Amino acid sequence: MIAPFVDATWLAEHRDDVVLADVRWYLDDRSGRAEFEAGHLPGAVFVDLDRHLAAPGSPERGRHPLPDPETFARGMAEAGIGDDATVVAYDDAGGVVAARLVWMLRALGVEAALLDGGLAAGDGLETGPAEATPARFTSRPWPAERLAGIDALDDRILLDARDRNRYAGEFEPVDPRPGHIPGARNLPARETLGADGRLLSEDVLRAQLAEAGVAADSEVVASCGSGVNACHTLLVLEALGLPPGRLFPGSYSQWSHTDRPVATGD
C-alpha cells in the first residue's frame, strides 16, 4: 500500500499513474466546487464531500455519516476512480478535509494518499470544470473493525481532532452544546501541520501523540466535529507505524444531540 502522505516530488514522478482529487469543503458553507473551478491543480477532478463522502446528516447520526457503499462507489466511478486506481487527494486546509476520501479508500483497500502541503504544493493552477472519464468502482461494505460507534468509546483512547477552542467549549459554531466528550484527549489536526500546511516531523508528531496519552500499543478512536478531520488523525497514526485506529463517524455532532454528559475546559 502506498504511504498515507506523499510530497509534490513524488506526485510529479508518478503523475501519469494517479488520479488527482480535489476535496475542498468549508464549514462556512462556501462552495468547494466553485473554489475548484476558480483554480485547481492541473488534471485534478473534484470530489464532492457532501454528495459522495457523506450521507445526509441528522441529529441521530451526526453531520457527516458515512455514505452507503453504493453512493460512495457511484461517486468514485463518476470521478474516474476505479478499483485499481491510485488516488492522491488534496485540499487547501493542509489535508484535514481531503483526508476523509483518503481514509475511506484505504479502509477499502484502494491505494490512496494525501498530497503533503495540499493545493499550495502544486506548481500552477488551471481553471474551469473538469471532465472525468468514468471508471468502475465496486461497492463494498465499510469494514466494521475500522469503525467505532457511540457506545464503544470507553475502553479506547479517544482523540478529538477539533481546534482547542471548540474542544474546550469556548467556541461552538454548529453543534447544540459546546464542549467535548468526557475523557476525550485533544490533538487538533491542524496542530500536526506547519505554517506551510505540511506535516510536522515524525519526532514532533510522536511527541504530540505521547502528550495526548497515545502509546505504541494504544487502541485509538479518532473523533472531531463530524468525522472528517478525524480521518487525518488516523492517517497520521498509520504514517507513524502505529496500530490502525478507528473512526467515530458521528463524532461530537452526534454526541452533542444526545443527553449524554459533556465536558468543558482543558
Quick one: pLDDT at residue 155? 84
- 217-262: per-residue pLDDT in tens? 999 999 999 999 999 999 999 999 999 999 999 999 999 999 999 9
13's grid cell: 514522478
pLDDT of residue 202: 98
Q: Is the pLDDT of residue 46 over 90?
A: yes
Burial of 261 (0-12, 13-18, 19+ CB in 10 A): exposed
Query: What pLDDT score does 123 carry?
Result: 83
- Residue (of 107, 113, 223) closest to 167 by Cα position: 223
How far, in Å, CA of 55 to CA of 9, rounded?
35
Catalytic site residue 224? yes
Residue 172 has pLDDT above 90, yes or no: yes
pLDDT at 122: 84
Distance CA 32, CA 262 (A): 32
* Per-residue model confidence (pLDDT) at position 146: 97
Query: For residue 216, how many other CB atoms are within 10 A of its CB?
Result: 11
The domains located in the chain, with CATH, are 5-141 (3.40.250.10), 145-255 (3.40.250.10)
What is this structure's pTM? 0.97
pLDDT tens across 85-114, in order? 999 999 999 999 999 999 999 999 999 999
Return the pLDDT at 65: 98
Q: Which of 19, 153, 158, 224 is catalytic?
A: 224
